[in-house]
Amino acid sequence: MRLVRDGTPASPGIVIGPAYVLRWEIPRVPHGNVPAKEVEREIERFHQAREWAKRRIREIQRQTAQRLGSVEAKIFDPQILMLDDVDLIDGTVAYIRENHLSAARGFELRMLEFESEWRRAGHPMVMDRLNDLMDVELRVVRRLLGLPDPDLDLRGNGEKVILVARDLTPTLTVQLDRRAVLGIATDAGTRTSHSAILARALNLPAVVSLGDFSEQVRTGELMILDGRTGRVIAGPAEQEQAVYRERDVKVREWEQELLLLAHLDSVTPDRQPVTLRANIDLPTEADSARVHGAQGIGLFRTEFLVVGRSSMPEEEEQYRAYRQVAEVFPHHAVFIRTFDLGGDKFPLFLHMPPEENPFLGWRAIRVSLDLTDLFRTQLRAVLRASAHGDVRIMLPLINEVDEVRRTRKLLEEEEERLRAQGIAFNPGYKLGVMIETPAAVLIAPELAKYADFFSLGTNDLVQYTLAVDRGNARLARLYTPFHPSVVQLLHQTAEAGRAAGIEVSVCGELAANPLGVFLLLGLGITALSVGPASLTEVKKIIRSVPATDAREAVAEALQASTPAEVTAMLARGISRWLDLSLFSGRWNLSPVD
């Protein structure tokens, strides 16, 4: 029976082959208590299993470094840190000692508590780490129960297969035999999970978040997996197979062309230069951004330093992270966004009570200015990193001039302390603001008097302008950056920046959308920042589309009254220069109803 599922594209590529459904799970731990005299022995067994798991993960890490590289190998650092986490260790020991539980049962209960806390946090960065939590639990529990690791020998009769599973952990993923596996399809997972990152490093096409797909498909059943669009088809017709084979050839030719663009100039055919930077979440991603041709970092999200942690990060740890990125781009700007906490992401050490409307509550710059110890530590670390490159400070969710003034005062005080201590920093650093609300757009001319640059965060700007939760699937049709009101706000911000003589850049998803790039070029915004994987695609658009054509199309779109009209005008203009079908898997480029 034919079955079509659309999930999240996690690793590009089109493959056709038989399914292999891998059934694995964290084993159930028998309930029950141990005699009091055996409690200390169970505690020792837990420590032995924990140390064994660390040794095993380090060995997998070493093999990964040899096979894929040192950057990919760092993916396993969080697992090693988890196994040394004081809260995890002490909580497990307390369960064993106080309740006379077996080592396996005590560890299982503590891991359930960790999982519950992380799921409540809800932030994508924390949810991605659930994969690592599962990996650690799988390894330690199986060791304590005397069970072997899951069998990953998929060679069978020698035919390559598409691996289908409920989910995969990082250590399972990296141990897959590339000679036996064509691609990966999982019910759960995200594009930014460590398993997905490893799939891309292994050049294994992958689609995640497919619901209950692993329960619907059978081993041996023929499948098509399109890791670029996120579609899987079980039991495809011969005609479908032919279509996807043809598409695979076309996409490969397109990707080969993109590879050649990485280090070519980012300039339009009519010689309009466009600064193309990268968005990153982790310091290690800076190298990938440079390889893909980034001209610096337009958005360095710093929440990785705090989300999911039970204590504030020290200044030295932050300084090393910021310096690492600055040194990758010694001749280009690195925009470091201060902690964008709140909404759906709070570190565990804040113990925040729930809010009815967290995205309209205590978040971003509001949190930082209230928690000055946390903010001062970060500002000092960024100032110190500025001695190693063109490091710029970017403030999220600014709504008032006073928020910038207060931040400048804190910076001035920290500068004085650094001078007194003889610690180097660049006194000519730049401080700018993210424009993410209609309020910020309306006071942009005034903000420009206090800011050295503007960066448009289009994801939140669309959400706050249209009163549409961007994570609500039911409202997805209404969440569009091509709504006339959003286009007008983008236009006003660009005009305010030009009048003040400061750079206006865009670091939201709009900067990676083909129609969005065309729109932004037409608005005269010539500094864009996107994920490393999108850099060459965006550069292809820039090098293909004359800026004059974009300006003409956008002048017309600014008069439109509906999102459908805006989209149609932009699509008509860009289609003269590009085949939009090559982008249609990632972006909805059809007019909005």
Angle of CA points 80, 82, 87, to nearest 5°: 145
Q: Which two tokens stand for residue 119?
A: 């799921």
Instruction: Sort residue 57 into left (φ over 0), alpha (ψ -120 to 50) or beta.
Output: alpha
Structure tokens, 93 = 């020991």
d(CA 217, CA 251): 27
Q: What is the Cβ-side half-sphere exposure of residue 44, based on CA atoms within 13 angstroms?
A: 5
Nearest by Cα to 170 from 154, 155, 184? 184
Q: Does residue 388 carry a catalytic annotation?
A: no
Residue 483 a catalytic site member? no
Count of CB atoms situated within 10 Å of the CB of 74? 16
**Which residues is 435 bridged to in the sheet?**
456
Instruction: Report the distance separating Cα 228 and Cα 224, nearest Å.
Output: 12
C-alpha dihedral sign at 187, 208, 245, 18: negative
Neighbour-count burial of 262, counting CB atoms closer than 10 A to its CB (0-12 exposed, 13-18 middle, 19+ buried): middle
- The alpha carbon of residue 39 and the mean position of all alpha carbons in its chain are separated, in whole angstroms, by 43
One-letter amino acid at 418 equals: L
Q: Give yes or no for a contact between 150 and 24, defined as CB atoms under 8 angstroms apart.
A: yes
| Distance between start and end Cα atoms, the chain | 33
Rounded CA-CA distance 415/426 in Å is 10
Do residues 455 and 432 lie in contact, with contact meaning Cβ atoms separated by under 8 Å?
Answer: yes
**Token pair 């396996």: residue:** 104
DSSP state of 356: S
Neighbour order of strands in the sheet with 181-186: 3-6, 231-234, 222-226, 14-22, 161-165, 181-186, 206-208, 8-11
Cα separation, 277 vs 264, whole angstroms? 14
Angle at 503 between CA 497 and CA 508, to 5 degrees: 95
Helix (H) or strand (E) holding 456: strand 453-456
Q: For the chain, what is the largest distance between any 2 Cα atoms, rounded to a whole number of angstroms?
A: 82
Residue 196 has phi, psi (to 5 degrees) of -70, -40
Residue 124 to residue 459: CA distance in whole angstroms: 15
Which is catalytic among the residues 123, 388, 491, 507? Answer: 507
Of 194, 292, 483, 491, the catalytic one is: 194
Strand partners, 181: 161
- 263 alpha-carbon distance from chain centroid: 24
Please give the full DSSP string across 369-418, using - where no structure is assigned: HH-HHHHHHHHHHHHHHGGGSEEEEEESS---HHHHHHHHHHHHHHHHHH
Phi, psi of 58 (to 5 degrees): -65, -35
Question: Catalytic residues, which ones?
Answer: 194, 507
